[in-house]
Amino acid sequence: MLGARGYVMARNRRTAAFAVAALVAAGLGAVGYRALAQPEPSPVEGSASAASSSGDESPDDDAPVFPGPDDTGVPPGTELEPYAGPCTLVETVTLSGVDATGVCPAIVVQAPGVRIEDSRVPRVESTATQVDPTFSVEVVDSDVVAGEWIGGAVWGTNITVRRTDVTGGQHSVHCGSDCVVEDSWLHDQFNPEGEAAHNNAFITNGGTDMVVRHNTLHCTSTLNATGGGCTADLSLFGDFEPVRDVLVENNLLKANGESISFCAYGGDAPGKPFPEATGIVFRGNVFERGTNDMCGVYGPVTSFNATSAGNAWQDNTWDDGSPLTP
């Protein structure tokens, strides 16, 4: 169903790809932890479910569809087994069909090619930048439940997140470099009372080679009495190294007129140690206007420099379909 602003959250959950994933998962043991013999081939406001329950009009085939509760996370019908493996993964493994929350404080990846699928896990950390540049993790069709954690729910370098529901943590995804986040729902970050933590759905403090494609990005925290709250749905900051080669494409950036300064920070910030961002492309994104008609407290986007090398702003719109220029 169409939302009030002309977008729709996805309803259909099961696809042929999910069926293939279920067949792969069926071969695992009770704890869902095994070494890989070889790599595997490669109700929210405005949601479809909410609209259908109200008896509104039928879906518009031309309306953009964005991830939400019906098409992210552990697939319906998946039976999760208690996880009985290690919390620090030092070999290439797949975790499938497990619930590791309450067992591990975090899944720490210290091996290449780790895969987490059809599972419920606490925060996930890929320590490639700190230890070994080959360490990597892919989180697919899963729930990441970081809870009360000051830091990223999914954090590090060489990270792929697909069709995943990410909640908790100060930031939903905190990328160093080489990150792909697709078809996922990033929301409900942790912001403690009495502290001045700043939240983001996706953030980098410097790095290269990132793709943020077709997600619902929603920094949900409200401003607290000590200055804690949302910075943005998506923040590109050159704090520790330059921000380079980032594609932000076909996402829904949700409004938060009570806390978010801007819904997106585009990487160009003269006050930062690395003030210029290059190769930054925003394409086909939808910015929700929200209650104040501006997405964020001050507007939809800031710190985007269209004149920097490789930067482009293409076909981004408000959620009513009108063009949006930075």
pLDDT exceeding 70 applies to what percent of the chain?
81
179, part of any domain: yes
Question: Smallest Cα–Cα separation from 192: which of 158, 217, 228?
Answer: 228
128, part of any domain: yes
Check whether 3 has a pLDDT greater than 90.
Answer: no
22, part of any domain: yes
What's the average model confidence in pLDDT over 129-152? Answer: 93
Check whether 226 has a pLDDT greater than 70.
Answer: yes
pLDDT exceeding 90 applies to what percent of the chain?
73
Total domains in the chain come to 1
The model's confidence at residue 312, banded by pLDDT at 50, 70 and 90, is very high
DSSP letters spanning 215-283: -EE---PPP-TTS-EEEEEEEE--SSS-EEEEEEES-EE---TTT-SEEEEES--TTSSS---EEEEEE
48, part of any domain: yes
Contact 74, 142 (CB under 8 A): yes
Question: Smallest Cα–Cα separation from 31: which of 70, 80, 89, 78?
Answer: 80
Q: What is the pLDDT of residues 17-57, one digit of tens each?
A: 333 333 333 333 333 333 333 333 334 444 444 433 333 44
**Residue count (the chain):** 326
17, part of any domain: yes
CA distance 280 to 274: 14
103, part of any domain: yes
Domain enclosing residue 158, as ranges = 8-318
The model's confidence at residue 180, banded by pLDDT at 50, 70 and 90, is very high
The model's confidence at residue 15, banded by pLDDT at 50, 70 and 90, is very low
Contact 116, 140 (CB under 8 A): yes
Both tokens assigned to 9: 């959250």
CA distance 232 to 254: 10
| pTM of the shown model | 0.83
**Both ends of the chain: CA-CA distance in Å?**
29
CA distance 36 to 110: 15
Question: Smallest Cα–Cα separation from 119: which of 171, 75, 176?
Answer: 75
232, part of any domain: yes
Check whether 4 has a pLDDT greater than 50.
Answer: no
324, part of any domain: no
